[in-house]
């Protein structure tokens, strides 16, 4: 029997409009348009309350990596809820699922990672990381090293610290962000540049902004550089190959901490366990969430490399930080089973060797469409750029809202992809089959035609 009673679509929509404040939503606008009520899901498909079937090209919100309807995860959560639904890990307590998951996370991460701090979400992981980084330098007797450098248009969550560290201008205008001691440098967004430099040179140039910023702020004041291996919410910005090696070099040269925010890239999305592995960089800390539990229950955390972990433990005393749900037993049980499935079904390898290359090839074929200025994809994380004309590349004016028009056409035709301005992004579950990939591309192509027709009108 369902936990929630049956109601009609319009009943749900009215109740929703009257009582439910949604994240990142203009409610006056939503009140007019009404919400799409998603009632159930299976595999890579979601179903709305009327039974309409939609291919989920976004894995929920970049998180349902092993697909919907996995009985193994349901069973892991149920068994754990029966055994021990909750206990904390404050006051010298722990429980088996959080300890076991820690062991497993250490096993799938680079050798410098031997410890993990749990949170309930990616935003909390970012807050934890910021406090940890500043505490690390404090303990080393360099309390002046407070500044954390991030990137324009980065997304690092929505708490005050997350919104501050992120580089989204609109978020900085609300709610007290940005905090002090945060600086932003440019993103390695070649298509968004004037495209006069070849991508590799552009990658180097943008990476070297980190060096310039460190010198401007003063090396003795800089604590860390933080970035998503590939920017997700900012529009799947894939850096040129030269970018990350140069960033690593600059961090090493100045001795500042390097942190990768793996909330989206982690757990196989790029065909490697983590984005840092894909780009061959060696972070000191990694923040994670989403894919660790495939979105079935909330969980996030920070992988703590020995450089920081040893100092926190040897010199630290008590770190006055933690959450009621740090290492929640049911979330950890679901994460353990998620990792088991990723390994057993070799999903990371599958993204690297099979479905990744398969979807990429088809995705790039969309570049032939008259409205597509660029396609890009690594693993199962991609984007295409909608343009007014292709030679020379001319963009639509932002008030035309072409990205949103396209997104709405997509979902009405049974495919979810996200619009970031006029960039359409895709990140389907890692279990996507070849036939489902074909369906995704066929629908995308058809919807590009419909968008072109709509825009011409």
Judged by beta carbon, residue 134 or residue 156, the one nearer ligand PXG is 156
Residues 6+ apart with CB under 8 A from 249: none
SS3 288: strand
| Residue 56 within binding range of ligand PXG, rule CB under 6 A | no
Q: Is 424 in the site for ligand PXG (CB under 6 A)?
A: no
Q: How far is the CB of 321 from ligand PXG (least distance, A)?
A: 17
Tell me whether residue 155 or residue 369 sits nearer to ligand PXG (CB atom): 155
Shortest gap between Cβ of 303 and ligand PXG (angstroms)? 14
Question: Would you count residue 331 as binding ligand PXG (CB under 6 A)?
Answer: no
Of 117, 125, 134, the closest CA to residue 222 belongs to 134
263 binds ligand PXG (CB under 6 A): yes
Region at 218 (left for phi over 0; alpha for psi -120 to 50; beta for the rest): left
Binding ligand PXG (rule: CB under 6 A), the pick from 113, 137, 155, 267 is 155
**Per rule CB under 6 A, is residue 57 in the interface with ligand PXG?**
no
DSSP states of 344-384 as a string? Answer: HTTHHHHHHHTHHHHHHHHHHHGGGSTTEEEEEEETTEEEE
Options 3-11, 225-233, 351-359, 375-383: segment touching ligand PXG (CB under 6 A): 225-233
Residues 6+ apart with CB under 8 A from 187: 151, 152, 153, 154, 167, 206, 231, 234, 237
In the list 121, 146, 242, 360, the residue contacting ligand PXG (rule: CB under 6 A) is 121
Q: In whole angstroms, how large is the CA radius of gyration of the chain?
A: 22
Give the distance between the most distant pair of CA atoms in the chain. 67
Binding window for ligand PXG (CB under 6 A); candidates: 136-144, 154-162, 183-191, 378-386: 154-162
Smallest distance, ligand PXG to C-beta of residue 61, A: 5
Nearer to ligand PXG, 177 or 369 (CB): 177
Distant-in-sequence, close-in-space partners of 89: CB < 8 Å, separation ≥ 6: 95, 98, 118, 322, 326, 327
The reply on whether position 119 binds ligand PXG by CB under 6 A is no
> Mask 278-297, x = binds ligand PXG (CB under 6 A)?
-----------x--------
Tell me the C-alpha distance between 251 and 402, whole Å: 39
Q: Binding to ligand PXG by residue 151, rule CB under 6 A?
A: no
Would you count residue 356 as binding ligand PXG (CB under 6 A)?
no
Among 66, 177, 227, 233, binds ligand PXG (CB under 6 A): 233
Tokens of 24: 């990142």
CA distance 452 to 345: 40
Q: Identify the residue whose tokens are 């590349």.
A: 393
Q: Does 228 bind ligand PXG (CB under 6 A)?
A: yes
Q: Where does this chain touch ligand PXG (CB under 6 A) — which range of 117-125, 333-341, 355-363, 438-446? A: 117-125
CA–CA distance, 207 with 220 (Å, rounded to integer): 20
316-320: Cβ within 8 A, 24+ apart: 316/135, 316/139, 319/131, 319/132, 319/135
Kindly state the DSSP code that residue 399 receives in the 8-state scheme: G
**By CB under 6 A, which span of 91-99, 226-234, 275-283, 449-457 interacts with ligand PXG?**
226-234
Q: How many residues bind ligand PXG (CB under 6 A)?
A: 18
The residue ranges that bind ligand PXG (CB under 6 A) are: 61, 121-123, 126, 155-157, 162, 228, 232-233, 261, 263-264, 289, 300, 418
């Amino acid at each position: 029997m369902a936990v929630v009673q049956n109601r009609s679509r319009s009943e749900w929509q009215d109740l929703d409009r009257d009582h439910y404040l949604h994240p990142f939503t203009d409610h006056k606008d939503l009140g007019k348009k009404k919400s799409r009520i998603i009632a159930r899901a299976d595999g890579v498909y979601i179903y709305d309350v009327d039974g309409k079937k939609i291919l989920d090209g976004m894995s929920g919100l970049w998180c349902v990596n092993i697909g919907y309807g996995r009985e193994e995860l349901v069973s892991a959560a149920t068994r754990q809820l029966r055994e021990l639904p909750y206990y904390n890990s404050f006051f010298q307590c722990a429980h088996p699922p959080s300890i076991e998951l820690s062991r497993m996370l250490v096993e799938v991460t680079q050798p410098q990672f031997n410890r993990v701090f749990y949170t309930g979400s990616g935003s909390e992981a970012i807050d934890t990381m910021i406090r940890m980084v500043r505490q690390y330098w404090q303990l080393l007797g360099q309390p002046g090293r407070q500044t954390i450098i991030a990137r324009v248009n980065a997304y690092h969550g929505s708490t005050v610290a997350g919104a501050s560290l992120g580089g989204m201008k609109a978020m900085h205008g609300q709610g007290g962000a940005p905090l002090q001691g945060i600086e932003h440098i440019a993103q390695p967004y070649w298509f968004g540049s004037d495209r006069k430099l070849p991508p590799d040179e552009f990658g180097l140039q943008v990476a070297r902004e980190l060096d310039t910023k460190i010198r401007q702020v003063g090396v003795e004041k800089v604590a860390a550089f933080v970035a998503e291996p590939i920017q997700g919410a900012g529009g799947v910005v894939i850096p040129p190959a030269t970018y990350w090696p140069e960033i690593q070099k600059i961090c090493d040269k100045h001795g500042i901490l390097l942190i990768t925010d793996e909330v989206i890239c982690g757990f196989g999305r790029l065909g490697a366990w983590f984005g840092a592995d894909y780009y061959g960089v060696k972070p000191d800390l990694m923040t994670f969430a989403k894919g660790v539990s495939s979105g079935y229950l909330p969980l996030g955390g920070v992988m703590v490399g020995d450089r920081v972990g040893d100092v926190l433990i040897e010199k630290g005393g008590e770190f006055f930080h933690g959450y009621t749900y740090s290492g929640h037993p049911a979330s950890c049980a679901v994460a353990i089973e998620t990792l088991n499935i990723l390994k057993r079904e070799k999903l990371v390898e599958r993204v690297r060797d099979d479905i990744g290359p398969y979807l990429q090839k088809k995705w790039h074929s969309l570049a032939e469409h008259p409205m597509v200025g660029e396609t890009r994809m690594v693993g199962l994380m991609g984007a295409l750029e909608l343009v007014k004309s292709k030679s020379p590349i001319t963009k639509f004016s932002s008030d035309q809202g072409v990205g949103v028009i396209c997104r709405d056409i997509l979902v009405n035709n049974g495919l979810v992809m996200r619009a970031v301005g006029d960039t359409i992004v895709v990140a389907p579950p890692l279990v996507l089959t070849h036939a489902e990939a074909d369906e995704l591309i066929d629908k995308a192509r058809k919807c590009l035609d419909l968008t072109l027709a709509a825009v011409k009108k």
